[in-house]
């Protein structure tokens, strides 16, 4: 079970006390994962899912709201060749149900699908939260950073929509419950998303996925520890590179003096230092200072003088 499935499984364990919240959750799920059909010349709707738990969850809500359970049939997803559960409802009251859910509207030309989200089913904050839950169950997903070094995967939670109007309305719903999502078009769809780990954690908590919040917190801590360790290693590598460059410069300077001027023609202490630097290329400053029996400060002073003499030759 991946992380998105874990979140959805937790959401499915929540129940709604009021009919308005059940209506909001069902409306969002039907809008994101359902489809309008014609069954024997009659309009209906169906929901296809490969999750028994998800099918039972919404079959129960439909039955509790409208007194009739949808028919559940087995079908095959031709694209993925998976057996799916299809909830189908085409009874005589289906138009009234779809109107009640804000999915269709009736005008002089008859019933038509509403692209904008109907705010009458979202009067209360609890209904907005229920709507977000239903939408995540239908079109939501969330990914967490991978632990591999160099991985570019980050925190990402998204909802996918097929039309711009519904996507922008959903952004407004999220803003009503204090979230600030972004909206982007991707391959003909419209994606509403969050990338901040804090906002994702807050939204998961709002949807009732407390275990998923704990897992996110653990990964966030692990990632921070890993980042700190990487920064420490990078700092050490950077310092080592600087030391290597300095050592090479010192060795080149000592050899230049040896070839042009001769080491016997410079101060005895500088001669001793230059010879030691040439003969001990791999030594660090600390090691070379100990080898010569001087302090690092003294060694630094001597090496700077050697480089200065070489530069003037």
Report pLDDT digits (tens) over 236-275: 555 556 676 677 778 878 888 887 888 888 888 888 888 8
- The overall average pLDDT reported for the chain is 84
d(CA 53, CA 87): 12
Residue 60 DSSP one-character state: H
Domain end point (choices 158, 188, 208): 208
Looking at the domain assignment, is residue 225 inside a domain?
no
| Element at 231 (helix H, strand E) | helix 210-260
Looking at the domain assignment, is residue 39 inside a domain?
yes
One domain for residues 133 and 68 = yes
One domain for residues 141 and 244 = no
Q: Report the CATH number that the domain containing residue 176 is assigned in CATH.
A: 3.10.28.10
Looking at the domain assignment, is residue 261 inside a domain?
yes
CB 112 within 8 A of CB 104: yes
One domain for residues 293 and 144 = no
One domain for residues 307 and 174 = no
d(CA 146, CA 137): 23
Which segments in the chain show pLDDT lower than 70? 39-40, 75-82, 146-153, 220-242, 244-245
- The CA-atom distances, in angstroms, between 6 and each of 26, 103, 143, 304 are 20, 28, 11, 62
How many structural domains does the chain have? 2
Output the pTM of the full model: 0.69
Tell me the per-residue pLDDT of 31-73, one tens digit each, with 9 for 90 and over. Answer: 999 888 876 677 888 888 888 899 999 999 999 999 988 888 8
Looking at the domain assignment, is residue 226 inside a domain?
no
One domain for residues 53 and 188 = yes
Q: Quick one: pLDDT at residue 167? A: 95
One domain for residues 188 and 287 = no
Proportion of the chain above pLDDT 70, given as a percent: 86
The residue ranges of DSSP E strands in the chain, in sequence order, are 34-39, 42-49, 71-77, 82-89, 104-107, 110-113, 140-143, 156-161, 182-186, 189-194
One domain for residues 164 and 257 = no
Coil/strand/helix, residue 153 = coil
β-pairing verdict for 189-194 and 156-161: antiparallel
Residue 273 belongs to what domain range?
Answer: 237-311
One domain for residues 158 and 39 = yes
């Amino acid at each position: 079970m991946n992380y998105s499935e874990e979140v959805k499984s937790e959401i499915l364990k929540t129940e709604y006390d009021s009919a308005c919240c059940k209506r909001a959750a069902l409306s969002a799920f039907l809008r994101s994962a359902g489809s309008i059909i014609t069954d024997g010349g009659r309009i209906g709707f169906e929901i296809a899912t490969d999750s028994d738990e998800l099918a039972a969850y919404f079959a129960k809500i439909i039955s509790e709201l409208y007194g009739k359970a949808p028919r559940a049939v087995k079908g095959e997803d031709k694209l993925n060749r998976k057996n799916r559960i299809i909830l189908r409802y085409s009874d005589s009251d289906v138009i009234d149900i779809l109107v009640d859910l804000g999915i269709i509207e009736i005008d002089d030309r008859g019933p038509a699908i509403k692209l904008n989200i109907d705010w009458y089913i979202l009067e209360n904050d609890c209904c907005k939260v229920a709507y977000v839950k239903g939408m995540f169950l239908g079109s939501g997903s969330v990914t967490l950073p991978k632990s591999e070094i160099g991985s570019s995967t980050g925190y990402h939670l998204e909802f996918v929509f097929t039309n711009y109007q519904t996507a922008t309305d959903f952004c407004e719903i999220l803003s009503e419950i204090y979230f600030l999502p972004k909206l982007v078009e991707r391959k003909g769809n419209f994606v509403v998303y969050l990338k901040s780990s804090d906002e994702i954690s807050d939204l998961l908590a709002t949807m009732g996925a407390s275990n998923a919040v704990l897992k996110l917190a653990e990964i966030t801590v692990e990632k921070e520890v890993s980042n700190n360790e990487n920064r420490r290693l990078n700092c050490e590598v950077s310092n080592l590179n600087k030391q290597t460059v300095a050592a090479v410069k010192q060795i080149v300077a000592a050899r230049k003096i040896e070839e042009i001027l001769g080491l016997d023609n410079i101060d005895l202490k500088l001669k001793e230092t230059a010879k030691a630097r040439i003969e001990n290329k791999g030594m660090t400053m600390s090691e070379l200072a100990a080898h010569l029996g001087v302090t690092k400060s003294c060694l630094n002073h001597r090496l700077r003088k050697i480089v200065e003499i070489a530069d003037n030759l």
